[in-house]
Amino acid sequence: MTTFVEFDLEPKVLQAITELGFEEATPIQAKSIPIALTGSDMIGQAQTGTGKTAAFGIPLISKISKTDDKIRALIMAPTRELAIQVAEEIEKLSRFKGLRTLPIYGGQDIVRQIRALKKKPQIIIGTPGRLLDHINRKTIKLEDVNTVVLDEADEMLDMGFMEDIQSILKQVPEDRQTMLFSATMPPNIQKLAQQFLKNPEHVSVIPKQVSAPLIDQAYIEVPERQKFEALSRLLDMESPELAIVFGRTKRRVDELAEALQKRGYSADGLHGDLSQNQRDTVMRKFRDGSIDVLVATDVAARGLDVSGVTHVVNFDLPQDPESYVHRIGRTGRAGKEGAAWSFVTPREIDHLHFIERVTRHRIPRKPLPTLAEAIEGKQRITAERLLEIVEQGELNEYKGLAIQMLEQYDSVQLLSAAMKLLTGEKRDAQIELTPEDPIRAKRRKPDIRSGGRKPSNFGSGRGGYNRDNRGGRGGYNRDNRSSGGGGGGYNRDRGDRKPRTGEGSDTRRPRREDSFES
Ligand SMILES: Nc1ncnc2c1ncn2[C@@H]1O[C@H](COP(=O)(O)OP(=O)(O)OP(=O)(O)O)[C@@H](O)[C@H]1O
Ligand SMILES: [Mg+2]
């Protein structure tokens, strides 16, 4: 066990850590904080939800002085939601030290950002596209930056941000510390690391399996047309505190969110085609629990940390094993348990096996809950809610009427009626989702061609599963980006990804037609 006192941090940083309730350092923090404090470049890899943000945040904060009025640290993240969240965590960690942090992302009024930049933040957390806009406008200058962090670097590359990241890093003095963090490290990361990191220390906390251990994983074989019914039954049976349901496309997410609402669930959708305002609102509602099911594309797969997410459902299987790991990693965070279920159509079983092989984790099959189980689950939850109210007491004003009713009716009869009322009849709204094509299994085998390299590190030593081979992601074109206009981020997001230039082979991938950032 490593406590934070052992790192020789300033009292004000320690105070912030205590305030956040962190008692001991997580393994990735214990390993990387001392190295990062020496100023050396590093690559950090550890399972989802194990505190990588603070692992780079604490050393970064330690290097900056409150009186500084230059931008000293730059953190890049793939999505807006992640930029906002990382900014909040850094803000909390530097609260007592009094540093100024600013998130910079597309979709937000650029004029407002320019105004905020005038307050001289020392730490900028941004998405590559919008950062580059500011650099081109000369509203952000990186000449005094001495620390750069690439959070979820592989995802940023995957989204076609390579050139942007290169242009941005060219603006930062060579004499800097660069750190790169993710739960997964596919081979293309090496390219970026070679180009931009100097003798990086590799710090990884990777047990045999890549995904976090506290996640109970299972798959349910279900035909495409029965997925919605299956989802309803699962939600009824388990009554998650908060759940994230991943759909493959924006259309899917829209349809699914609407269908869930029609059935009476408190759900909403999140994807890259919503305006920034809508995205913020949905995330706020999910964080404060006013909706309990977030239906999302992969825009929510990476890095998002919402406490209370007890369930992740892959309504559609993701194309990539990495995506699978990140998606399910939205639960089982910071030592909590979680459940992750994947719907697999009969034709996708091979693809599931592919995911199992790459993640080195067998995913057990789970039967589809029966209708009776779903109903029973719902009733059980109602009974629990009733008993909670009994425990709370304060029922005096109801007692008079209760006594009167009990004089006329049987108590079992009455209680059953109350439970029926509370459970709510399932609304029989007609639900018709547009079917998605099954994901085809990869033809390549993941475990050959490793050339004797160590096979255990997800993405690094594993032959065969090579993201650089994927290609085929044509059609993304960011040339229509304008650098003008305040607040025009909504449409600009579209097509923000470039085709990958790898030796791309096979077919056009249906993977994510979502647009993400910047
Ligand atoms: N030492 C600690 N003790 C307790 N909780 C911690 C500690 N460090 C971080 N946390 C909390 O754990 C949660 C997950 O942290 P974080 O988001 O940094 O994970 P991550 O490793 O970046 O995950 P992902 O791979 O999904 O991005 C956060 O709520 C964070 O505040
Ligand atoms: Mg993270």
ipTM of the complex: 0.99
Write the single-letter amino acid at 92.
Answer: K
How far, in Å, is the centroid of ligand 1 from the Cα of 89? Answer: 9
How far, in Å, is the centroid of ligand 1 from the Cα of 383? Answer: 34
How far is the C-alpha of 145 from the C-alpha of 81, rounded, in Å? 23
| pTM metric for this prediction | 0.83
How far is the C-alpha of 268 from the C-alpha of 282, rounded, in Å? 7
* Atom of ligand 1 minimally distant from the CA of 89: 31
How far, in Å, is the centroid of ligand 1 from the Cα of 138? Answer: 34
How far, in Å, is the centroid of ligand 2 from the Cα of 155? Answer: 12
Using alpha carbons, select from 135, 88, 127, 87 the residue that is nearest to residue 108: 127
Query: Would residue 47 be called left, alpha or beta, if left means φ above 0 and alpha means ψ between -120 and 50 degrees?
Result: beta
- Of 18, 333, 337, best ligand 1 pocket probe by most atoms within 8 Å of the beta carbon: 333
Give me 309's structure tokens: 């997410």
Per-position pLDDT tens, the chain of length 518: 899 999 999 999 999 999 999 999 999 999 999 999 999 999 999 999 999 999 999 999 999 999 999 999 999 999 999 999 999 999 999 999 999 999 999 999 999 999 999 999 999 999 999 999 999 999 999 999 999 999 999 899 889 999 999 999 999 999 999 999 988 888 878 888 888 899 999 999 876 666 667 899 999 999 999 999 999 999 999 989 999 999 999 999 999 999 999 998 999 999 999 999 999 999 999 999 999 999 999 999 999 999 999 999 999 999 999 999 999 999 999 999 999 999 999 999 999 999 999 999 999 999 998 989 888 888 888 888 899 999 998 899 999 999 999 999 999 999 989 888 887 766 666 788 999 888 876 654 443 222 233 333 454 333 322 333 333 333 223 333 333 333 332 233 333 333 333 323 322 333 333 334 44
43-70 CB burial, b ≥16 within 10 A, e <16? bbbbbbbbbbbbbbbbbbbbbbeeeeee
Cβ–ligand 1 contact at 329 (below 6 Å): yes
